Structure 1
Amino acid sequence: MASSCFSPLSLALSSSPIPKSSVKRRQWKPIIKALKEWREYEDAVRDKDLARALRFLKSMEALQLQSSPSPSRPSSVNSVTTYSPGFAGSERDWEVLDTCLNADDMRLVGSAYSFLQDRGFLPNFGKCKNIVIDGTRNVTPTVLKKSTGLEASKLSPEKWGLSGSSRAVLIAFLGGVSFLLSQGIDIRPNLAVILTLATVDAIFLGGSCLAQISCIWPPYRRRVLVHEAGHLLTAYLMGCPIRGVILDPIVAMQMGIQGQAGTQFWDEKLENELAEGRLSGTAFDRYCIVLFAGIAAEALVYGEAEGGENDENLFRSICLLLQPPLSVAEMSNQARWSVLQSYNLLKWHKQAHKAAVKALESGHSLSIVIRRIEEALLSSS
């Protein structure tokens, strides 16, 4: 008769629990696998593929939630990520903003900002969304001067050659031509060619070639940076997702942007209301404040605005969509009210505006520019 026997060793092996190290190893396998897949995110950022980059970040967030301790069990590790200037835990998440420029779906851009804000990276995004300065809606030139110390003419784009540095350039150019002619040097044929090329550039290329040449002049380029940083910061504070800042006139032309540079932002409420054939005062006001922020930024820094003519043209086109359309007097008042709001908003956040200008001047990407804005806002709060 066969008999069976159990050794103490075999009994111990069959009844002992699975070692904790094996359990932990299995728990960490998905995380290790995810870390290896970060190359996918890097490729998405490099290819400016917002949908793929955002999808990956959301999958990583879901994985972190699965591997985080249960709320019922105490843990010394906080699973919620909060942003601070020195935070280095999930810094790669910021790079998703650098993929927004090529996105065709602005709602996807809005999702990227919402994702980062939910993660605690953008604490100041939209903090001024519902802030409107108390005071009269009837902003006359006198009220504007009393509030800003500037004449109303200083807060509107100049016509080239009529004021500011452009007038000095025009006078110097005409003086130089007169001097050469007085010396018997006839440059009129060459001048005719130059004027013809300038006209073709203005009509067919939106002045992008002349703007490209002008950008070589440092004072002009810095003024452009100040202008666009005003749009960028105001849009950020008003909670409008920024798709990107285009500073190259040729790239701006290729993207269909009117003007020599541009900041592309999105207002979901405005878009939804326009699609429904209506436009509320709140959405219109917020849009106008962002639109006139470039002019306000130049006036705040230089004491007068030179750029912004395309901003004014866009403002007029929006006014015509209102039912009933605004009269000329109402449009002028709305423009003054909006630029006053922008001016004060930028004055309150002057350090953040300087940080944005410096970051743009250094050629940083959108994600770094917004990080510099957040750092400046947090340090001044």
Structure 2
Amino acid sequence: MAPTSCSPPLASTATFSASQSAATRTSPSSKRFFPLPSRPPRPGLHLRAGSLREWREFEDAVESKDLSRALRFLQSVEPASYPEAATSAGTQVALPMPPGRDWEVLDACIDANDMRLVGRAYQFLSDRGVLANFGKCKNIVLEGLREVTPTILREMTGLEAAKLAPKKWGLSGNSPYVLATFLGGVSFLLTQGVDVRPNLAAILGLATADALFLGGTCAAQISCFWPPYKRRILVHEAGHLLTAYLMGCPIRGVILDPFVALRMGIQGQAGTQFWDEKMEKELGEGHLSSTTFDRYCMILFAGIAAEALVYGEAEGGENDENLFRSLCILLNPPLSVAQMANRARWSVMQSYNLLKWHKKAHRAAVKALESGHSLSVVIRRIEEAISSDLQPSEVAQESA
């Protein structure tokens, strides 16, 4: 299955898998360093790796987005330990790994064509204890109500169902005023003897060509220069990213530039690309379990839920909704209209509450994306926000 992508006025989608127990274990960095010995190491002990030249090779692999080479290097560097831990002759001990360098392997995921390789990168960091919260909420799809009426949705989120639905054709609460202003401006120019009809025809022709041949890339790029619109996109995409991460779905990257997305084959829109190994396997076998589909739908509707959480209503996400409908039709048997509506309400309610529980992490992700940070930094900010949000009792429980 190709990596899925998501976005609001851009393009978005979602999925789930994997698991990792949350929170405060021994800091990964503390496991990665050992004090330089004040005395020569015992005979038979050989230090390896960690030279500046070798780490330069890792930097080059990350910069060139060569995930396979970057991951292979990290796998060759064992977590640092004290020399005294080596008892047998010939034991090799890695020199200290520079702080935070292992996170950078995630920045090489964006150009990876093999999503299994992306999955291995996340699994590697999880095994090292770096991604403590990756997949910690994957079992949420097994909990709670299954039938969600508009009344239950309002009780659980405090919002009407209409507030949790994307605006069609880009319409929002201010659309009537924008349209009235536009028509008023055109009328004024006509009364002043300025014939704007040829210009309007040219603009409409260019917009049509953009929609047909570029998937709306130019229009999306122009819209991104409007700060409120750009901010809403960041909120939307951070919702997809955080939900996919908590559900254990490896994230390939977040593409916010429509032209970059176009070069990657995502016409007209950007979004969050993630991968669900279990879903790919099930689809390859010709079936899709309810649990896997639920997980996918939660990530798919997480962008809409994020907008509703921050702004009180959603505007983007029409592409997510369309993808949801197309997948529902492909199921065997396909979902009815009533079943689709219930599944959509359940998904957006679950995503809304999940993001509400992790509001601090969502804000951290938005801020990191807004600052133009790479994927590794965004995920690190998420981990830091979740860890700082833990109560002392939770810390003790997780440590136990």
Deviations 1:301-334 (A, max 9, x none): 1111111111111111221221101111111111
Specify the alignment match of 2:70 in structure 1: 53
Deviations 1:355-376 (A, max 9, x none): 0000000000000000000010
**Partner letter of residue 247 of structure 1?**
L
Q: 1:68: how far off?
A: 7.3
Q: 1:177: how far off?
A: 1.2
Deviations 1:11-35 (A, max 9, x none): xxxxxxxxx848669723x336x55
**1:279–1:322 Cα contact (<8 Å) kept:** yes
**Partner letter of residue 27 of structure 1?**
H
CA distance in 2, matches of 1:285, 1:223: 25
Report the CA distance shift for 1:173/1:324 in structure 2 as closer, same or farther (over 3 A).
same
Report the CA distance shift for 1:187/1:35 in structure 2 as closer, same or farther (over 3 A).
same
Report the CA distance shift for 1:287/1:184 in structure 2 as closer, same or farther (over 3 A).
same
**1:289–1:342 Cα contact (<8 Å) kept:** yes
Deviations 1:225-280 (A, max 9, x none): 00000000000000001000000011112222255220001111001000000000
Q: 1:27 aligns with which of 46, 49, 65?
A: 46
**2:45–2:86 Cα contact (<8 Å) kept:** no
Higher RCO structure, 1 or 2 (CA under 8 Å, sep 6+)? 2
What secondary structure is seen at the aligned counterpart in 2 of 1:94? helix
CA distance in 2, matches of 1:150, 1:21: 67
**Partner letter of residue 331 of structure 2?**
L
Q: 1:154: how far off?
A: 1.3
CA distance in 2, matches of 1:263, 1:316: 19
What secondary structure is seen at the aligned counterpart in 2 of 1:163? coil
CA distance in 2, matches of 1:223, 1:321: 31
CA distance in 2, matches of 1:190, 1:95: 49
Specify the alignment match of 1:211 in structure 2: 220
Alignment of 1:156 onto 2:173 = no
CA distance in 2, matches of 1:59, 1:140: 53
CA distance in 2, matches of 1:108, 1:67: 32
Specify the alignment match of 1:5 in structure 2: none
Specify the alignment match of 1:37 in structure 2: 54
Structure 1 stretch displaced more, 172-181 or 49-58: 172-181
Q: Where in structure 2 are there 5+ consecutive unaligned residues? A: 1-38, 391-400
Q: 1:376 aligns with which of 364, 374, 385?
A: 385
Q: 1:104 aligns with which of 89, 98, 113?
A: 113
Aligned 1:234-273 pairs, distance under 5 A: 234-257=243-266, 260-273=269-282
**Partner letter of residue 350 of structure 1?**
K
**Partner letter of residue 153 of structure 1?**
A
Q: 1:133: how far off?
A: 7.6
CA distance in 2, matches of 1:42, 1:25: 31
CA distance in 2, matches of 1:365, 1:136: 37
CA distance in 2, matches of 1:67, 1:100: 34
CA distance in 2, matches of 1:68, 1:298: 53
Aligned 1:309-324 pairs, distance under 5 A: 309-324=318-333
**1:225–1:360 Cα contact (<8 Å) kept:** yes
Report the CA distance shift for 1:101/1:340 in structure 2 as closer, same or farther (over 3 A).
same
**1:243–1:266 Cα contact (<8 Å) kept:** yes
What secondary structure is seen at the aligned counterpart in 1 of 2:136? coil
CA distance in 2, matches of 1:164, 1:306: 9
Specify the alignment match of 1:193 in structure 2: 202
TM-score normalised to structure 2 length: 0.81
Alignment of 1:346 onto 2:355 = yes
TM-score normalised to structure 1 length: 0.85
Aligned 1:111-150 pairs, distance under 5 A: 111-132=120-141, 134-150=143-159
What secondary structure is seen at the aligned counterpart in 1 of 2:254? strand
**2:237–2:254 Cα contact (<8 Å) kept:** yes
Report the CA distance shift for 1:165/1:243 in structure 2 as closer, same or farther (over 3 A).
farther
Alignment of 1:292 onto 2:310 = no
Q: 1:66: how far off?
A: 11
Q: Where in structure 1 are there 5+ consecutive unaligned residues? A: 1-19, 73-77, 82-87
CA distance in 1, matches of 2:141, 2:118: 26
What secondary structure is seen at the aligned counterpart in 1 of 2:78? helix
Q: 1:92 aligns with which of 86, 90, 101?
A: 101
Structure 1 stretch displaced more, 127-136 or 211-220: 127-136
Specify the alignment match of 2:394 in structure 1: none
Specify the alignment match of 2:30 in structure 1: none
How many residues are paired up?
348
Specify the alignment match of 1:69 in structure 2: 85
Structure 1 stretch displaced more, 240-249 or 124-133: 124-133
What secondary structure is seen at the aligned counterpart in 2 of 1:243? strand
Q: 2:314 aligns with which of 285, 305, 308?
A: 305
Structure 1 stretch displaced more, 149-158 or 52-61: 149-158
**1:164–1:306 Cα contact (<8 Å) kept:** no
What secondary structure is seen at the aligned counterpart in 2 of 1:130? helix
**1:242–1:266 Cα contact (<8 Å) kept:** yes
Report the CA distance shift for 1:68/1:89 in structure 2 as closer, same or farther (over 3 A).
farther
What secondary structure is seen at the aligned counterpart in 2 of 1:104? coil
**Partner letter of residue 193 of structure 2?**
G
Specify the alignment match of 1:223 in structure 2: 232
Q: 1:175: how far off?
A: 2.1
**1:232–1:242 Cα contact (<8 Å) kept:** yes
